[in-house]
Amino acid sequence: MRFGWLGLRPVALAAGLGVVVALGQAPLGAWYLSLPALAMLICLVGRSTAPVWAAWFGGAGYFAAALNWIVQPFMVDAARDGWMAPFALVLMAFGMALFWGLAGWFSRYSRSPMLAFAVALAASDLMRGYVLTGFPWALLGHIWIATPVAQLAAFVGPNGLSLLTVLVAAGLALRRPLPAGLAVLGLAVAWGYGFWALAQPMPADRGVTLRLVQPNAAQQAKWDPALARVFFDRLLSLTSAKPTPDLVIWPETSLPYVLDRHPEIGGMIAEAGNGAPVAIGMQRVDGDKAWNSLAVIAPDGMTRATYDKHHLVPFGEYIPFGDALFQWSNISAFASQLGNGYMAGPGPQLLDLGPKLGRALPLICYEAVFPQDLRGTERPDWLLQITNDAWFGHWTGPFQHAAQSQLRAIEQGLPLVRVGNTGVTAIYDARGRVTASLPFEISSYLDAGLPGALPVTTYARFGEIPVLLLLAALATALLRTQKRRKP
């Protein structure tokens, strides 16, 4: 039996190898399975007479396994939305795999198809972060986040880690002593550097206490009007516990009311704060427009500062091409409870919380996935992410999301505070290590100190420029001058 230009058996093998490559992603972090599987996939594509097909199905297997959490939002109201879940997973997997197919196409024009496919895979990871608003989730370099190798992100960022990953895998795929030896040596050097970096002394803590509030509101019940007061009272109770911290932080859209319509709520939150400011995730409304926002409630009950999320989730927080396009189908954005979607804020901005707490860069949920969203302002003193990952179940999605937040801390050399509705709620130091955390899916709070910041990193200063230059140089060197291979 044949499938297009490629036999059914190689297609199945490519997809299966893609699934194994995905095992390197959180929460498993099985890089020791992911790396050899990637090497075998590179070998398969490089030797295939139809590398585009092999790469595309390999990518489909990879993304289907890595992004399996995409079905969870459809299960929140399964009776209404459950039928769409398998279509979402298949479309997401094969859609993201188009980037891998493009890498397979590039390999046809190279002196070394295996190495060309590997380099193009790294380039496709970078492209995914920007094309059509970007989706840099499950990058190949993410398999190293739980290992010392992740410390290289301070120099080369996530796409540099992806390039390292594919070059090591390609060296193994070539199955010759010199490239295989160089691959092993390169990985050993990266690992050794990571151990050295983690052993270096860290700056002193900032000397403040933060309270991270995790209400654990189930997504199915989160917007039930009958339970709004239950969840609000839970937040107030966790906030008011003694002793009083320097700042209390609630997760994304945790406030079950619209603050602008209930001005008395600010006073209730301030009273619970016992003199500490309270940063809350909420929906902000102005007429028929709404924003996914973070507001800081001062001890006098007034709103000191507001930040509106600017990098929205397509179909989650807004409908691409406008709501009118989908009015016939009654489809609306999942996360928005006001109209069919949120408005985008003006862009990144710092929250000045005073001389003691310093300046924080707020990131609401999805924004922590994008390294570029951490640029565009002066350097903050720390990073603050609020999120609601209850949408994505309790198997893979929340932990992959948290792992990317961990990587942002390493890239920037800044501590990151992460507050989730159901978790993951944790504080990461400037090397990405967890200094304090709450168990997943419990209702509680965490009081912990804020770690200090490291000097500005190479990646924070130059972003993707070094990796782009290296990718361009490698691509130029690999382009074939002879007649291209036949498809």
Tokens of 273: 């704060």
* Encoded amino acid at 7, one letter: G
- Edge-to-edge strands, sheet with 289-297: 303-308, 289-297, 278-286, 247-249, 209-214, 444-449
Measure the CA–CA gap between 438 and 456, rounded to whole angstroms. 29
Q: Is 289 a catalytic residue?
A: no
Q: Indicate which residue of 43, 222, 317, 365 is catalytic.
A: 365
Q: Is 486 a catalytic residue?
A: no
Burial class (CB in 10 A: 0-12, 13-18, 19+), 306: middle
Nearest to 72 by CA among 57, 100, 92, 54: 92
Do residues 281 and 364 touch, judged by C-beta distance below 8 A? yes
Q: Is 365 a catalytic residue?
A: yes
Beta carbons within 10 angstroms of residue 264's beta carbon: 10
Element at 445 (helix H, strand E):
strand 444-449
- Displacement of CA 6 from its chain's centroid (Å): 34
Do residues 159 and 464 touch, judged by C-beta distance below 8 A? yes
Measure the CA–CA gap between 366 and 371, rounded to whole angstroms. 11
Measure the CA–CA gap between 129 and 56, rounded to whole angstroms. 19
Measure the CA–CA gap between 281 and 362, rounded to whole angstroms. 11
Compute φ and ψ for 210, nearest 5 degrees: -105, 145
Q: How far is CA 472 from CA 165, 437, 476, in A?
A: 17, 41, 6
Strands (E), 315-422: 351-352, 359-364, 382-387, 416-420
Nearest to 41 by CA among 20, 65, 63: 20
**Per residue, what are the HEC states of 257-318?**
CCHHHCCHHHHHHHHHHCCCCEEEEEEEEECCEEEEEEEEECCCCCEEEEEECCCCCECCCE
Q: Indicate which residue of 43, 222, 252, 464 is catalytic.
A: 252
Tokens of 435: 């200094």
* Encoded amino acid at 210, one letter: L
3-state secondary structure of 70: helix
Tokens of 412: 């920037």
* Encoded amino acid at 385, one letter: Q
Q: Indicate which residue of 43, 309, 317, 464 is catalytic.
A: 309
- Give the CA-trace dihedral at 69, 73, 79, 80, to 10 degrees: -130
Query: Could you give the residue numbers annotated as active site?
Result: 252, 309, 365
